Amino acid sequence: MRKQRVSLFLGLALVCSPCLLAQTADGVKPTLTLDAAAQQDLIHLGGQMMMAGKAYEYDRELSDDIGPRLTGSANYGKATDWAVAEFRRLGLSNVHKEGWTIPAAWEPETLATASMILPHEQRLHLESEGWSPSTPPGGVRGSVFYLDDLTVESVRSHAAAIHGAIVLVDGESVDRGIEGGFGKLFDALHEIGTQGAKGLILGIGTTNNAPSFVGLTAFDGSLTNLPSGNLGLEDTLLLKRLLQRGPVEVEYSFKNRIRENVTVNNVVAEIPGTDGTGDYVLIGGHLDSWHPGTGAQDNGTGAATVVAVAQAVMASGVKPKRTMRFVLFGGEEQGTIGSIRYAEKHAGEMNRCVGVFVTDTGAQAPKGWYDFGRSDEAGALKTIQPLLDSLGAGSVSDNGQFTFETDESAFLVKGVPAFVLWTPVDQYFKIHHKPSDTFDKVNQRDLNLGAATVGVTAFAFADAGNTLPQYTAKQVIDQLKTVKAYGQYEDLLQHHVLQP
């Protein structure tokens, strides 16, 4: 491990010094201007992050020492205190919390009990879905109705069967219903309660009957209107098979600890720019997590990366021209609420933001950056191509699939150049939102590579002579259409989640 890291550090120095601005074979022109001093600073910073980066230790503290960090929970509060203390210890400026209100904070108070009653008795692997109310005393018991198409129209057309039933939906139902965006999906889930269902079971878990939480908070962090369970995959498949042969009845019971109108804090800290213009880059990620695991990858890795970049900039002594602002958001898992509230509160200075860099795809070794269809971002990244290549992160993806799935989106829609670290997610999706999202899955070298990618890219934008322009509203629309994310954007506008 040590030898590998040393050789990578030497690699950084060798490839970067002579040719940082060289034009590369694919013809994309480097568009950021970095003077010799800025290039040397980048080399120092990259070396610092690989040789002495703190992301791994920070992730361990968040996931092992603090534990799961449900938005608005006591543990989430501990994590914000931890971040404030560390930013202050590192000597950052303007370290503070910024509060916003969530309609409900939610935690499970008891483990659920759940059984199939008909056609025979059998224990089921079910837990309360996030932001579900408790079941009534004595639990919920009823016939199961499988809804294969999770749309408002489908719910209404099955109203008679849904009334008084426990409705089961699974990944296939969601896949058929999600066309056009999450808002329509939440409308359909809400309609199930409106039509008088007794309960709702989400059969979207993965193998080994593990629950996989999604939350049903319809973007604002309020409770769902039905006691809703999350059922493991094998049990879901069993219920579906048995339903083809005759009636199926289940019962379940759980108690959740719910507090209304809770203040949730984002954490903000800065390394002031030397140019005093007020221009800034934002390095961000969400601090909240789901509860069955400890959120080591979703998003311990991202939160740890944010603080590790701050640590490395301070430790290496490099001074960016523009301010580097570090923001840890809450409420991402409830519909990116924390970053949306942040962008609303800071709308007046959004025109000074030259780039947003978000990490939220776990700790596999990075491939590069998602640009969400903003083609000029590739030219800017090209300026530090050798450095990114040495980290294994020299690629750019225009895949728009995740455009509205993490905290860059509130900035992207305002025209700010927005980036999300691109890592493979094949291992990540096996564990995220599940009991197995724990620190043993995190590889120190891979996490350091990702954190270093974030650090050097954000620093390059902070220290460049020029930056990318912000996109106009029309350009944002064209960008979203290019990556087939415009339907989701329209859906979020219709649901008043985002403002144009």
Binding site for Zn ion (CB under 5 A): 298-299, 360
Q: What is the largest CA-CA distance in the chain?
A: 74
In the complex, least distance from residue 181 CB atom to Zn ion, rounded to whole angstroms: 19
User: Which C-beta is closer to Zn ion: that of 172 or that of 405?
Assistant: 405
In the complex, least distance from residue 287 CB atom to Zn ion, rounded to whole angstroms: 10
What's the Cα-to-Cα distance from 212 to each of 5, 139, 291, 483, rounded to whole Å? 35, 22, 10, 27
The dihedrals phi and psi of 190, each to the nearest 5 degrees, come to -65, -40
Q: How far, in Å, CA of 362 to CA of 441, rounded?
A: 10
In the complex, least distance from residue 420 CB atom to Zn ion, rounded to whole angstroms: 11
User: Which C-beta is closer to Zn ion: that of 173 or that of 289?
Assistant: 289
In the complex, least distance from residue 446 CB atom to Zn ion, rounded to whole angstroms: 17
User: Which C-beta is closer to Zn ion: that of 359 or that of 453?
Assistant: 359
Q: What is the 3-state secondary structure (H, E, C) of 203-251?
A: ECCECCCECCCCCCCCCCCCCCCCCEEEECHHHHHHHHHHHCCCCCEEE
User: Which C-beta is closer to Zn ion: that of 236 or that of 299?
Assistant: 299
In the complex, least distance from residue 425 CB atom to Zn ion, rounded to whole angstroms: 11
Instruction: Please report the DSSP string for 19-79 in residue order.
Output: HTT---TT-PPP-S---HHHHHHHHHHHHHHHHH--HHHHHHIIIIII----TTSHHHHHH
User: Which C-beta is closer to Zn ion: that of 299 or that of 457?
Assistant: 299
User: Which C-beta is closer to Zn ion: that of 67 or that of 272?
Assistant: 67
DSSP state of 347: G
Sign of the alpha-carbon torsion through 202, 207, 208, 210: negative
User: Which C-beta is closer to Zn ion: that of 162 or that of 204?
Assistant: 204
In the complex, least distance from residue 217 CB atom to Zn ion, rounded to whole angstroms: 15
Q: How far, in Å, CA of 165 to CA of 181, rounded?
A: 26
Q: Rounded to the nearest 5 degrees, what angle is found at the Cα of 243, between the Cα atoms of 241 and 246?
A: 120
DSSP state of 438: S
In the complex, least distance from residue 298 CB atom to Zn ion, rounded to whole angstroms: 4
CA atoms within 13 A on the CB side of 482: 14
Instruction: Please report the DSSP string for 396-411 in residue order.
Output: EE---TTTTSSTTHHH
In the complex, least distance from residue 467 CB atom to Zn ion, rounded to whole angstroms: 27
User: Which C-beta is closer to Zn ion: that of 325 or that of 433?
Assistant: 433
Count of beta carbons in the 10 Å neighbourhood of residue 435: 16
Amino acid at the residue 206: T
